[in-house]
Amino acid sequence: MKIHWLLILPVLVSVALAGEDPRTLEAWRGTTPRIDAILSPGEWDDATSFRGVADWIPTFTPTTDPRDLSLCGWVKHDDRRLYLAFDVTDDVLYGIDTPRWLPEENPKAHELTREGYPWFGDEMELLINASNRWRGSEGAAGNGASWQMVCNLTKSRLGGIGIGGLLEGEPRNSEKAWRTYQQWIRSGAQVAAARPKSGGKGYIIEWSVAFDPCLEVEPGRFYSIRMGDRPMGLNIALGDLDEKEKGRGNFANFHHEDWFTGTKDVRTQLRHWGTLWIRTGRRGR
């Protein structure tokens, strides 16, 4: 029987990588951190570390000075949850060092509704395609198979305006996705803490994601370490608001928004993400 390799190749590629971008992170098995936005000594020593955002993809004004915006991140897991932490350097904190100014594009940006902008502020976005599948140019579905969530420094679903933490992300035009995200936050399926650094410019975020119900690798089947090493689609965004005039000419006067993978117009499409390998072993020394 003649095999048409050109027809098979795209399927093989989508299985080997969880997105078309070659950038990869590995999450090894480690100890369980406390999600309190405090990087306790030794807490992340068994995690994979990574840095940004000098070589990330800018949506708005490119970041050129690490004192303006940069980060050190960590990722690992235990037998139930995925964990990430971010030590963000940011010279101006929106709503703390500046007034809580609003964008002309949306005077309701701070409403904790589907009309608001959850990502408006200094914020981190985590995007995962646990199913490792895509058809074309679609973005996150807003369920356990693929999702996009937000951790904002100065507002959250549980704490309200002024308290950092998780907010429902995209697609906000889907009421089903909105309700799913809100249920994850209220139930603790996802937990995040964010707070300004006490001894320097910037802030800390720690984030926890339950395998069940947030990493649905197949319909009704959630990741378990019994499945072995597994690739999932991954993207991360770091958003930075400063004084309004610094973002002049950018959408909503954002100063910076830098992405782990993708380009300006396709950064939220599943196919343009990188890969998060969940490894069942422990990180080698």
Q: What's the pLDDT score for residue 9?
A: 37
Q: What is the pLDDT of residue 199?
A: 80
Region of residue 159 (phi > 0: left; psi between -120 and 50: alpha; otherwise: beta): alpha
Name the nearest CA neighbour of 21 among 231, 274, 237, 233: 274
pLDDT band per the 50, 70, 90 thresholds, residue 37? very high
Q: Give 268-279 pLDDT, tens digit per residue.
A: 999 999 999 999
User: Could you tell me how far CA 218 lies from the centroid of its own chain?
Assistant: 21
**What letter represents residue 224's amino acid?**
S
Q: Which residue has the tokens 């830098």?
A: 258
How confident is the model at residue 151, as a pLDDT?
A: 98
Residue 23 is given by DSSP the state -
Residue closest to 42 by CA, chosen among 50, 32, 52: 32
Q: Which residues contact 152 (CB under 8 A, 6 or more apart)?
A: 118, 119, 120, 121, 122, 123, 164, 165, 167, 194
Task: For residues 153 and 240, give the distance between their C-alpha atoms in angstroms, rounded to a whole number.
Answer: 10
**Helix %, strand %, coil % for the chain, to 5?**
15, 35, 50
The DSSP letter of residue 143 is B
Whether the pLDDT of residue 45 is over 80: the answer is yes
The token pair at 45 is 């020593």
Query: Over 80: is that where the pLDDT of 22 sits?
Result: yes
Sign of CA dihedral 228, 47, 188, 232: negative
pLDDT value at position 11?
A: 37
Tell me if 85 sits within 8 A of 39, measured CB to CB. yes
Bigger pLDDT: 17 vs 199: 199
Q: Residue 264: its pLDDT value, please?
A: 87
Contact 92, 98 (CB under 8 A): yes
| 209-231 per-position pLDDT tens digit | 999 999 999 999 999 999 999 99
* Pair of tokens at residue 210: 């339950």
Predicted confidence (pLDDT) per residue in 68-104, tens digit:
999 999 999 999 999 999 999 999 999 999 999 999 9
Number of neighbours of residue 26 by Cβ within 10 angstroms = 18
Q: What pTM does this model have?
A: 0.93
- Which domains are delineated in the chain? 23-278 (2.60.40.1190)
Q: What pLDDT was estimated at residue 17?
A: 65
pLDDT at 10: 39
d(CA 210, CA 100): 33
Residue 204 near residue 33 (C-beta atoms within 8 A): no
Please give the Cα distance from 110 to 102 (Å, whole number): 8
CA-atom Rg of the chain in angstroms: 18
- In whole numbers, what is the pLDDT of the chain averaged over residues? 93
Share of the chain above pLDDT 90, in %: 91
Give tens-digit pLDDT for 111-166. Answer: 999 999 999 999 999 999 999 999 999 999 999 999 999 999 999 999 999 999 99
Q: How far apart are CA 248 and CA 47, in angstroms?
A: 38
Phi, psi of 15 (to 5 degrees): -80, -40
Position 189 pLDDT exceeds 90: yes
Share of the chain above pLDDT 70, in %: 94
Residue 285 confidence class, pLDDT cut points 50, 70, 90: low
Between 161-165, 202-206, 281-285, the lowest mean confidence (pLDDT) is in: 281-285
In the prediction, which pLDDT does 13 show?
39
Whole-angstrom distance, CA of residue 145 vs CA of residue 249: 36
